[in-house]
Structure 1
Amino acid sequence: MTEAPDIAIIGAGAAGIAAARRLAGSGLSCLLLEALPRPGGRAWTCRAAGMTLDLGCGWLHSAERNPWTRIAEESGFVVDRSPAAWRDQFHDLGFPPAEQRAADQALDRWSGRIADDPPASDRASDALEPGGRWTAYLQAISGYLSGDELERVSARDYAAYDTAATACNWRLPAGYGTLIAASLPASAALRLRTPVEAVALDGRGVALRTALGTLQAQAAIVTVSSTVLAGDAIRWPSALDPWREAASCLPLGANEKLFLEVVGDGPFEPETHVLGDPHDPATGSYYIRPFGLPVIECFLGGAGARAMADRGSAASFARAVDQIATLFGESVRRCLRPLLASDWTGTPSVGGGYSHALPGHAVARAVLARPCDDRLFFAGEATHATDFSTAHGAYQSGIRAAEEAIAALEARGR
């Protein structure tokens, strides 16, 4: 590898692309090294059966303050501002209105305790009502939001996100992954299928070993997932042990998606939603015919996503069809066909969905965000104090890390 950029960026997901955007025009050259055969990281828009589908992030959360909203509009992307149907149960199937109200009230009470009277243990589960009827429902919600059970979720961390988030959620018909991948500046060099094997602090700079050779840079911005940073796929210098310990306290939860194609006629109305079973913590959440497309988008989190990793996508497709048929009637089986499935847990350069802090470790986000020796800078959704688990949190962290790197090199007299 002959390139010798001023700054190397490890990972070309939302954080890495944001860092490259900030470096553009700074006078510093940058090179992104990406293990996957595509940019975007956990933002991935696929084409299947002639449709554009997001296998990773799909919603512009907190859209009115989400920087990707502005980037989309400036780049000519259509932003769909239709309200999300998540909180609605189509025709109250399998979830009568009185139960929906009771479940929502249980969620509101639990969220209020987390915010106003958090448990001393910092375990989100310790804010549950003992013997509460809706514990399974709240565990399912935790699966979607954090990818894990409440016993392994920091109450303080959850409250930080919940307080900062808004109820404004918009979408991109062209795909969130399409937008993020298209946002890499032309001035940034990109090498795909180039996983970094080792990182070393070398002289005054950084050495990154890959299968194509060793790259020298004055500094590096590390945007790998917390799973990768804490793991052994990359050999890290011992100076990073505190960062790796922090990453281990911010594990990626289990989050996956399935898409079922709707073939022929069926009772599925566009832009509707059902929860498979509100009394099952592993239940799927089914968004029906988004944008009017003939698909059902199934969200799996926590126990449901882990079951998919353990048993394979075929078993999860079958279970999704079973839940949908229970609600809509057995006749719908004939018009549902497995189409597309994610495998974020099984992707070596990712290793899961998005981060959550373990109880007692919300402070790990600030530790992970610190620069190391003014040569290694850290970005990614796990480093954001409040907007973790989102592409806009990743973006903001990438901007921060790039500015830190620029300041460090200027101080060195670059």
Structure 2
Amino acid sequence: MTASIRLPSSIDVAVIGAGAAGLAAGRRLAAAGVDCVVLEARDRIGGRAHTVERDGFGLDMGCGWLHSADANPLVGLAQAARFTVDDTPPPWQQQAFDLGLSRAEQAQLGEAFEAFGARVAEAAAAGQDRPASDLFVAGERWNGLIDAISGALNGATFAEVSTLDYDAYADTGANLRVVEGYGTLVAALGHAVPVVLNAPVSRIDRRGPVIKIETARGMIEAKAVILTLPTSVLAGEAVRFDPPLPDLIEAAAGAPLGLASKLHMTVDGAEDFPIDSQLWGRTDTAQTGGYHLRPFGRPMIEAYFGGDLAWGLEVGGEAAFLDFAASELSDLLGSSFRRRIRPVATSLWGADVFARGAYSHVLPGQGDPDSGARARLARPVEDRIFVAGEATSKAFYGTAHGAWAEGERAAVEAIVALGVDPRLSSVPEDDGDRGG
């Protein structure tokens, strides 16, 4: 557990946001001997990497998979910190009991999705920055379910996703999990980082030789700032810049956060279901949930809702999520199934004023890797304001490890700007403590 420190009056580098990017930046700065502090609006660290304890289990409300595990720096950090890394294959490639989708239809869906991806890649190779949905085959049976998959991947339908940006994602296909929770891991890795909690930033004044930062806990001056706020928070101008930074705000608006929401449920008679299996509620629409049955072998179901469906359900809160899930699962498993499930935790990232969504996607027309939204976000301002987060990661956007790597990148930029040689420092790999 990270204890909040007092707000200092001045600092070399102020990091805004204690999610994966902010904590990675804080670790890297501290390793270089740079005096730094991380300012966090919430009363906890981790940001959208957040694990809650329910019924004796660590349930991830945000990120839950160590994606691209063979290229993911957090895998080694998790192992060094003695977390339990699980290598059970993900359930995404099959429909439990073949309910609603025969084996042949599952194969057809897989082929249709691969063919769609190939068409997107071809368009991207030709430099076309257009809605990925333009590459649907008109009238194809699987378009709705492919858009439901986009809700999980992007938090938005493919009509809102740039072909260039979608194609730039570099998934290696290797996926692992942390039994104790991904959020628990990220928080443990940040336990030694100096963090001021309950300190939302309202204004950044860059008119003088030092940057003045107004927070709910008071004013702090810094030589440099690393911004790790979600793009929808930046675009919503929750933080005021003096003078304004319209290019930064426009870039953030070009890579808004989509929404992916989770509902964790316990289920009676869980032994009826195969461990780590999945069901899609429906196969003819994007307005459907994905249901991970018995994750880690637990007597639970993790329901996943993306895009417009998630935004709509958030309006009704946990009750709306439960009613939707119960209806879909009852249609598949029988009307009595509704009585077998009980909600234990629901994520509401869209309603969270410090998140305003789950993870970023780039709008059509904003996907150019050199001049698009992500590239513009990552450009330093006056060589003293640096931006980092999953939204600045071109190859691993939407992931905690993408945010982590970007936090380290921004920290190195700040270190160099301060005249410190970043090669003189290294970050320890085993300073996390899963019990801490």
Aligned partner of 1:25 among 20, 25, 31? 31
Matched, 1:322 2:327: yes
Q: Deviations over 1:182-236 (max 9, x none)?
A: 11152x3211111001111142221110122111111110000000111122112
Q: Is the 8 A contact 1:259 1:338 kept in 2?
A: yes
Q: How big is the shift at 1:121?
A: 5.3
Equivalence for 2:429: none
Aligned match of 1:146: 154
Do structure 1's residue 157 and structure 2's residue 165 form an aligned pair? yes
SS in 1 for 2:219: strand
Query: Residue 88 of structure 1 aligns to a residue in which SS?
Result: coil
Map residues 3-402 of structure 1 onto 2, 5 A cutoff: 3-118=9-124, 120=128, 122-161=130-169, 164-184=170-190, 186=192, 188-264=193-269, 267-362=272-367, 363-402=372-411
Q: What secondary structure, in the 3-state scheme, does the structure 1 residue paired with 2:409 have? A: helix
Distance 2:88 2:270 in 1: 25
Q: Which moved more, 1:308-317 or 1:152-161?
A: 308-317
User: d(CA) in 2 for partners of 1:62 and 1:411?
Assistant: 32
Structure 2 residues not aligned, in runs of 5+: 1-6, 422-436
Identify which range, 24-33 or 219-228, moves more after superposition: 24-33
Please give the alpha-carbon distance, in whole angstroms, between the structure 1 residues aligned to 2:129 and 2:60. 37
Report Cα offsets for 1:155-190 as digits up to 9, x if no partner. Answer: 1100001xx11110000001000000111152x321
Partner of 2:3: none
What are the Cα deviations for residues 48-75 of structure 1, in whole angstroms up to 9, with x where unaligned?
1222100000000000110100110111
Give the aligned residue type for 1:151: A
Instruction: Write the distance in 1 (CA, Å) between the matches of 2:336 and 2:274.
Output: 16
Give the alignment's Cα RMSD to 1 decimal.
1.5
Q: Tell me the distance in 1 between the aligned counterparts of 2:78 and 2:135.
A: 39
Partner deviation per Cα, 1:97-145 (whole Å, 9 max, x = no partner) = 2221221111111100000234845110110101111110111011111
Distance 1:253 1:99 in 2: 29
Residues of 1 paired with 2:242 and 2:171: CA distance? 36
Q: Matched residues in 1 for 2:123 and 2:391: separation?
A: 25
Deviation track 1:337-382 (CA, whole Å, cap 9, x = no partner) reads 1111001000001000100000010121011001101111110000
**What is the CA distance between 1:333 and its match in structure 2?**
2.1
Which stretches in structure 1 are left out of the alignment for 5+ residues? none
Count of residues in Structure 1 that have an aligned counterpart in Structure 2: 409
CA distance in 2 between counterparts of 1:50 and 1:80 reads: 18
Post-superposition shift, 1:331? 2.7
CA contact (8 A) 1:226 1:248 kept: yes
Q: Is the 8 A contact 1:205 1:375 kept in 2?
A: no
Structure 1 segment 398-413 matched on structure 2, within 5 A: 398-410=407-419
| Alpha-carbon separation, structure 2, partners of 1:277 and 1:91 | 14
User: Letter of the aligned partner of 1:229 in structure 2?
Assistant: L
Tell whether the 8 Å contact from 2:13 to 2:36 is kept in structure 1 after alignment.
Answer: yes
The DSSP-based 3-state class of the residue aligned with 1:340 is strand
Q: Is the 8 A contact 1:143 1:149 kept in 2?
A: yes
Partner of 2:424: none
Amino acid at match of 1:135: N
Q: Tell me the secondary structure at the aligned position of residue 5 of structure 1.
A: strand
CA offset digits 1:236-265 (Å, max 9, x no partner):
234521111100000000111001111356
